Structure formats: structure tokens, C-alpha cells
């Protein structure tokens, strides 16, 4: 039998993911508001989530074309934090329990 | 308003006298979006009244802090220095970030005050709503300048 290989950093991340799978999952959703500039929405996603421009623009276009985009799936506490951060920028964001 | 130069200390914008007056008039409207406009959740069952109240309190506190910061900026003798027929406005990157929030609050608040018109259906202009129409467009213009500066720092380096 092969010895178990320990990879501390990766294991830590996997444990975190596994634990969050057990917790009630919440979705942070951004809804389309025709008044917000597309470049502004993309900028806010980068500022709040630390995303690169490509990912931020993908979600911004999803909001623009489909009316909404699920930005992250996370715990209730983190979802509240993200919704608050997005609303500080006057984006139309809510948190919804995952169906 | 345009970017005059940028460096380690931040950015220096240049405004005409007219732009400065419009900017000051626009800032008078802040904050414009009511805290009750924001909802934590669309599903009624997912949201306790207590959490909603906390969200509104937090947003109100944040806007009060932004308003104070805005007053300090407008009354700072180091800002809006006259340079020929124009004015120079030095700003740090962190100040650009909250100014974006201020501009978008006034832009969205103006849009709400105008009855949330569609882009292809502009509202009928009246003496009562005219200032909101102007504020909405002015904020969008200032936001675009700031976003261009924040989004393309490499291209502006040569300005210093």
C-alpha cells in the first residue's frame, strides 16, 4: 500500500471546500440595472472579489444579457458581506438560498 | 475633466471652471438613493427583518462617512487649485474608489427620481426633474473618466 502523501496547502483548501459543502449554500446574485455603466460593473466586480478583468467582464456581460449573474456560492456570512460590498457601489445585488 | 498626470502620490485631474461648478452642484445631491432601496434578498423567507435593518443601518453609516469625506475634500485648500483658466484636483487611488461610489449613488438616485426610464425611452423633461437628468449624465461622464484612469494605468504613465 502506498504511503499517504501529505500536501498541507492543498489539503487545507480541500477541507475548506468540503466544510462549505455541508453548510447551507447561498448565492450572491447581481441583477441588471440599465443605469449602471458596463465598465463600472466590471470594475466593481474586480474591486469586491479580486477577479481579473476577463472574469469580471464575463459576469458583467451575463448580467447585461441575461438579466442576472450568480457571482459566488458561499456561506451566509460571506454572502451578506459581499452583498453589502456590492450595494456600497449601488449595484443591485441580493443573496438567495441555493435551491 | 481629464487626467493631467499620475505618479506614486496619486492622480492630478484638470477641470474647467464650468466643470468645477457642475461637480459641486452634483455633489450637493449626495446621498440620493434611499437606504431602503436595497434589499438583502428577493425571497421573503430568506431574509429576516433584523438583517435587513442592519443592512440599511450599515449603508446609512457608510454614506454619512462618504458625505463627511466629500465635505472635507470640497473644503480642502489643497484641492481645486487654480491653474490658468482651469483647476487642478489631486486625488489618491483610494479617493477615486469612493468617488466612484458617490457618483454612482447620485446617478442611480437620479434615475430612480426620474421613474427608472429605459435607455430608449427618455423621460419627459420638466422643471422639477431637469436637475436629475443633468446629474445622471454628469455622473456618468465623471465615472467614465475615473474608470478609464483606473483601468488603463499603463497608458497614462507617460503623462507625468
Looking at the domain assignment, is residue B111 inside a domain?
yes
Q: Could B104 and A43 be called an inter-chain contact, meaning their C-beta atoms sit closer than 8 Å?
A: no
CB B39 within 8 A of CB B48: no
Looking at the domain assignment, is residue B94 inside a domain?
yes
Report the domain count for chain B: 1
Half-sphere exposure of A35 (CA within 13 A, CB side): 27
Looking at the domain assignment, is residue B129 inside a domain?
yes
| Contact list, B119 vs chain A (CB under 8 Å) | 34
The whole-angstrom separation of Cα B49 and Cα B64 is 22
Average pLDDT of A26-43?
Answer: 95
What ipTM goes with this model? 0.87
Looking at the domain assignment, is residue B157 inside a domain?
no
SS3 A31: strand
Q: Which of A94, A45, A87 is nearest to B31 (CA)?
A: A87
- Does B44 reach chain A within 8 Å, measured CB to CB? no
Residue with cell 463627511: B68
In this predicted structure, which of A84-88, B1-5, B106-110 has the lowest mean pLDDT? Answer: B1-5
Looking at the domain assignment, is residue B65 inside a domain?
yes
pTM: 0.84
Looking at the domain assignment, is residue B27 inside a domain?
yes
Looking at the domain assignment, is residue B160 inside a domain?
no
Q: Residue B109 sits in which domain range?
A: 2-150
The whole-angstrom separation of Cα B3 and Cα B159 is 8
From the CA of B106, how many Å to the nearest CA of chain A? Answer: 10
Q: Could B104 and A40 be called an inter-chain contact, meaning their C-beta atoms sit closer than 8 Å?
A: yes
B52 grid coordinates: 435587513
In this predicted structure, which of A71-80, B2-11, B125-134 has the lowest mean pLDDT? Answer: B2-11
Amino acid at each position: 500500500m502506498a504511503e499517504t502523501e501529505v500536501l498541507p496547502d492543498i489539503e487545507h483548501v480541500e477541507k475548506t471546500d468540503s466544510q462549505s459543502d455541508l453548510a447551507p449554500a447561498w448565492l450572491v446574485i447581481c441583477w441588471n440595472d440599465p443605469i449602471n455603466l458596463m465598465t463600472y460593473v466590471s470594475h466593481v466586480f474586480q474591486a469586491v472579489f479580486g477577479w481579473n478583468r476577463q472574469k469580471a467582464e464575463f459576469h458583467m456581460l451575463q448580467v447585461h444579457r441575461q438579466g442576472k449573474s450568480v457571482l459566488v456560492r458561499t456561506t451566509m456570512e460571506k454572502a451578506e458581506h459581499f452583498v453589502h460590498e456590492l450595494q456600497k457601489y449601488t449595484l443591485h445585488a441580493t443573496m438567495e438560498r441555493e435551491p | 475633466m481629464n487626467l493631467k498626470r499620475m505618479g506614486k502620490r496619486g492622480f492630478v485631474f484638470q477641470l474647467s471652471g464650468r466643470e468645477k461648478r457642475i461637480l459641486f452642484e452634483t455633489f450637493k445631491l449626495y446621498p440620493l438613493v434611499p437606504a431602503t432601496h436595497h434589499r438583502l434578498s428577493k425571497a421573503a423567507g430568506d431574509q429576516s427583518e433584523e438583517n435587513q435593518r442592519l443592512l440599511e443601518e450599515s449603508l446609512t453609516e457608510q454614506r454619512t462617512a462618504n458625505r463627511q469625506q466629500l465635505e472635507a475634500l470640497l473644503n480642502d485648500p489643497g484641492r481645486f487649485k487654480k491653474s490658468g483658466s482651469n483647476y487642478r484636483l489631486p486625488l489618491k487611488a483610494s479617493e477615486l474608489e469612493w468617488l466612484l461610489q458617490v457618483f454612482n449613488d447620485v446617478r442611480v438616485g437620479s434615475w430612480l427620481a426620474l421613474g427608472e426610464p429605459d435607455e430608449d425611452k427618455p423621460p419627459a423633461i420638466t422643471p422639477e426633474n431637469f436637475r436629475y437628468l443633468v446629474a445622471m449624465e454628469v455622473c456618468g461622464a465623471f465615472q467614465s473618466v475615473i474608470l478609464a484612469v483606473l483601468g488603463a494605468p499603463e497608458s497614462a504613465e507617460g503623462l507625468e
